[in-house]
Amino acid sequence: MPKVRHYADLVTVLSGLSWLVVFWSVSLTAQIGSIEPTLAALLMLGALVLVSFVHRPIRVLLRRYHVRKRRTEMWMHILALPLMLAFGFGIGIEYLLTPLSGQQKMLLFNVFATAGWLVFVVTVLIKLALHLARRGRHGGDTAE
């Protein structure tokens, strides 16, 4: 596996983590009634975006196909599937048990998004382990 794939995996894992921090900060903001957690998370996310646009090696790296492909996979894990699951579970809970508040719905989404991100990280680690095992079995081609 070329180094760009390792970098792509690292970038997407960190990107997913930064978005999870933003998601959880919104829940925390709603819980405590203060906007500071969300502002801090958005400031952190903005700083990461600024660094990725200004720092040339990172900017060149982020343009690569593998990063975009990995980011799409990451978004499927932390946004698309958790939204569908939270919507389905939310309807089921409201129908069977009790109405949910907006904070509880956001918490449900955050739990699913965090679980999806963890599944993505485990998937990336399994792919890396399989690649390393395959490379070790075939003699360890170091031309990558």
pLDDT at residue number 47: 87
Chain segment 64-96, per-residue pLDDT in tens: 656 667 778 888 888 888 889 999 999 999 999
pLDDT at residue number 81: 87
Q: Are 82 and 109 in contact (CB under 8 A)?
A: yes
Q: Are 1 and 144 in contact (CB under 8 A)?
A: yes
Nearest to 19 by CA among 54, 39, 44: 44
Q: What are the φ/ψ torsions at residue 141 (nearest 5 degrees)?
A: -60, 120
Nearest to 31 by CA among 83, 98, 106: 106
**Residues of the chain with confidence (pLDDT) below 50:** 1, 143-144
pLDDT at residue number 6: 76
pLDDT at residue number 64: 61
